[in-house]
Amino acid sequence: MAELFHECGVAAIYYLGDGVPSRFSPEQGGEQASRLIPRILLDIQNRGQLSAGMTTFCAGRKQLIDTHKEVGSVNEVFHMAHHDKYDELMSEYAGPAAIGHVRYATCGKEDRSYAQPFERHHIEKTKWFSFGFNGQLSNYQDLRAEILSDDFFHLARETDTEILMHILSQELRQEIESSGQTNLITVLERLSQRLDGAWNIVFLNALGDMFVARDPLGIKPMCYAIEDNMFAAASESVALSNMGFSDAAIQSLEPGHAIIIEKGELRIEKFAESPRKAHCFFEWIYFANVASTLDDRGVYLTRKALGEELAAQEKLSGITIDEDTIVVPVPDTAKAAADSMAYKLGVPSLEGLIRNRYIGRTFIEGRNRDEKVRAKYTPLREVLEGKKVILVEDTIVRSTTMKALISQLRERGKVRELHVRVACPPIVAPCFYGIDMSTINELFAPKFLNGGPMTPEVEAEMAETLGADSLKYLPREAISRCVDLPVSSLCQACLDTKYPTPCGQKLYSLALDASLSGDDTGRTYDTPLATTRT
């Protein structure tokens, strides 16, 4: 779905040996494990294409921790197409420990100062640190107001990442002043009491200490592996698998837990109670790489199951299948669902739409929607002409891309009929945990549902608006079945308006008020929740 973007992905690497070359980095040895960060980031590039960066630690250089980051793709930022430049960069930043980040902005500007990791310089090693952040703080405005209530404090950016940097600094200072040392678990315990929302953090300081933490609800995924003196963590398992870690070594970090590395020793500790799990269901149906496994559930198997649900629904009350019926996925994340749906229906699944994977986001920025779709997708007339097409999409958020796509399929593909099937229930509410949909009126479905249930009449009205012959969504209960997790372990707030955190629920109330008044042109995040503290 071209209309929907994730905020970011994080990674960490630490060589725990004493100079013996690691099988993960045979040429340079484990002491230059930092060279693996760009490779890991490439595997989670799907989570953010706006900027990339890494911070590395090396005890033998003046810049004990040093950060390289820039706007652009991983390949661009690390000069991976230019061997000499890449090797020079990797040599400059070489070290046994590193963290990395890829970003897409749901808040904040698109310039280098917003790229992560964020590094905070300090003369004291315990206070000199860098971190990367995946998620979004729902109480961002409250925390911002709290910081700015002191006239001596100043914030230079409109992003919750800078807020988090200041809070981390405060908690580190308080811990050092109270105990005379840095206890990272204690810092995380206090941090978790101040944050509302989704937050996965990778942290590295000038002592070479590291932590990788997952919030108490586990909203965003975090995977890790320890094998042959090498530790690595990433937002998705595919990055660790492609590094060479065995399947048995790759685990999901439990919510409210952190992996701590201090003085070269690794331990896993709980820093907060996890009252419930609230894994974002979108990770399985759209965001994650299809080769990943998150919280013990494979992404591919989930999408395959979604397609089977679509097929079962089609058999009950769908179109009449004839010899000219074909299933066509919207590339690329809908392909697994489309293929399994077609298999169950006994019809071909054909690539009637070809995506141009070499057109970057910047190239198509500023064009109107039809031009963007024309640049990104090519309908194959020889596949589509005269066919009854079942077009499978992962989700419909704002509908602008889908309208343009349907127009192109009719105009250029010459389809006979076009039936849209969505491998997701209707999106009826914003996300306040790291997906770039912040208001109700920007969404497609709410204006048709008006708070009521989905009916065939509503779907027919939606289809007419899109320019399709018919439209069907999956029912909400299908998500839990396909992910194979209970509803109580999932965040489905954008489907059912049941937000798993207090500030998320308050922001939805504000979004609802703004929608009813017609005054929701700005982002709901920008509204202070003055009475909220978590």
Distance CA 453, CA 455 (A): 6
DSSP 415: -
Q: Which residues of 502-521 are buried (b: 16+ CB within 10 A; e: fewer)?
A: ebbbbbbebbbebbeeeebe
**Which residues are the active-site residues?**
8
Distance CA 419, CA 494 (A): 24
Q: Does residue 221 contact residue 235 with C-beta atoms inside 8 Å?
A: yes
DSSP bridge partners of 268: 259
Distance of alpha carbon 146 from the chain centroid = 28
Phi/psi at 134 (5° precision): -120, 120
Distance CA 100, CA 210 (A): 12
Q: What Cα–Cα distance (Å) separates residue 519 from each residue in 312, 444, 522? A: 41, 17, 8
DSSP 435: B
Distance CA 86, CA 38 (A): 10
One-letter amino acid for residue 117 of the chain: P
CA dihedral over 332, 337, 341, 344, signed as positive or negative: positive
Distance CA 400, CA 370 (A): 9
Q: Does residue 419 contact residue 469 with C-beta atoms inside 8 Å?
A: yes
Residue 515 makes CB contacts below 8 A (sequence gap 6+) with 439, 440, 441, 446
Q: Does residue 292 contact residue 308 with C-beta atoms inside 8 Å?
A: no
Distance CA 319, CA 340 (A): 17
Q: Does residue 231 contact residue 24 with C-beta atoms inside 8 Å?
A: no
Residue 377 makes CB contacts below 8 A (sequence gap 6+) with 331, 353, 354, 355, 356, 405, 408
Q: Is 131 exposed, middle or buried (0-12, 13-18, 19+ CB in 10 A)?
A: buried
Distance CA 349, CA 511 (A): 40
DSSP 349: B
CA dihedral over 14, 20, 23, 27, signed as positive or negative: positive
